[in-house]
Amino acid sequence: MLRLNVSNCWRKGQVSLGLSLCLAGASACGDSGGGTSDGAATTVTTTSATSATAGATATTGASATAGATAGATTAGATTAGATTAGVTSEAGGSSSSGAPETTSSTGAGETAETTGQVLPPCDPIAIPDTENFVFVKNIEIGVDTLQAGYYDNNRQEVTVLSFYGDGKVLDIDGNILRDAAAPPEALPQLDGAAYDTAGDVALLINQSCVLVEADPETMTALSVTQLDYGMSVCAGLAIDQQGDLYIASHGTRELVVLTRDTQTLITRVELPDYVCFDGIAEIAGSDNFIVNDTTLREAMIVGPEGDVIVPSAAIGMAPLTGVGQIGQPDSMLTICDNGHSWVCDAYGTVCSDFSPEGGDKAACGCLIPE
């Protein structure tokens, strides 16, 4: 489809003009990063990191706090070794009743046992599609500007990363296991991540639309691909059950779908009502995706062709029901072992955990490409 020129989201090389436009509009957004490319659908794979962009800023809405530019010191600096996760539960969803509770991690570097793990068979038809998630608890990550995250079901670990590349590895209950760091090839402007179950690799994308495959244990870059296809400010990444890549092209308000090898454009769908399309995750056991708009602070569920399954609504209403601690939603991930969705704050240090309405769902076996 015809791409839209988004005048209220600034591009790389147009920071001054973009800033004035963003401040002038009530629904302005604050993206920086790669400019729109008019090239053909081609990709170039390299083995070296792309050059840093001066003055890069994280994708967020107009109410972003000061000091959110590249090179700034993030709040809640990480420390060596394991930390204690501040996991606060509230009534609703599958949370325990009573006063807010805090759980602690069980030790530095502790991971789930994965040797010989066999995924149970999964019948997607037998698993009802989740069309509403209910708030369970807030999870304190201890790292600021959270803009990328994924669930590694082979190791049963969640990785959450900041715009600057620092982050944490947690278990599915939100207990911090250890520090994490994105490879330099994915920096600056990290703004999306996913986990490829079949290939056992982490996928990271930055705002310049550089896609990095990394070893999920060491975070060593395995390949670096500069994406084209006319995308602008890549700001979210997901992978479906067939292995296809779904990319949030923030600057053009499009959902762009590529084959796993990035060599073929499958489709692109406009999301014209989304001012700052900025997060996407496939829903566990479903062909559908949950997406968000950072500026509007809304979320909706769309099908693989971009068809609307659950209309967009403010955070707190379906498809994300309940009051989480999300100032500006950005990074999103889903956990196939229980069907939960985590939504992380673009300029905060907290991810909010939402459970499927009706109870947890185990769907990891559905992630193997058909």
Q: Is 311 part of a structural domain of the chain?
A: yes
Give the whole-angstrom CA distance, residue 179 versus residue 326.
22
pTM above 0.75, yes or no: no
pLDDT at residue 191 tops 80: yes
Residue 67 lies in a domain: no
Q: Is residue 59 part of a domain?
A: no
Sign of the CA dihedral running 17, 23, 28, 33? positive
Residue 44 falls within a domain, yes or no? no
What does the pLDDT average to over 194-212?
97
pLDDT at 121: 58
- Residue 332: domain span: 86-109+120-367
Instruction: Average the pLDDT over 342-364 and give the result.
Output: 93
pLDDT band with cut points at 50, 70 and 90 for residue 340: very high
Higher pLDDT, 310 or 37: 310
pLDDT in tens, 271-324: 878 878 999 999 988 999 999 999 899 999 999 998 999 999 999 999 999 976
Residue 229: inside a domain, yes or no? yes
Whether residue 355 has pLDDT greater than 50: yes
Give residue 285's pLDDT: 84
Could you tell me if residue 221 is inside a domain? Answer: yes
Task: Please check the confidence at residue 86 and state whether its pLDDT lies above 50.
Answer: no
Give the CATH number for residue 191: 2.120.10.30
What are the b/e assignments for 291-328, b being 16+ CB within 10 Å? bbbbbbbbbbbbebebeebbebeebeebbbbbebbbbb
The answer to whether residue 359 sits within a structural domain is: yes
- Residue 125's pLDDT is 64
Taking all residues of the chain, what is their mean pLDDT, rounded to a whole number?
A: 75
Whether 10 maps to a domain, the answer reads: no
Number of domains in the chain: 1
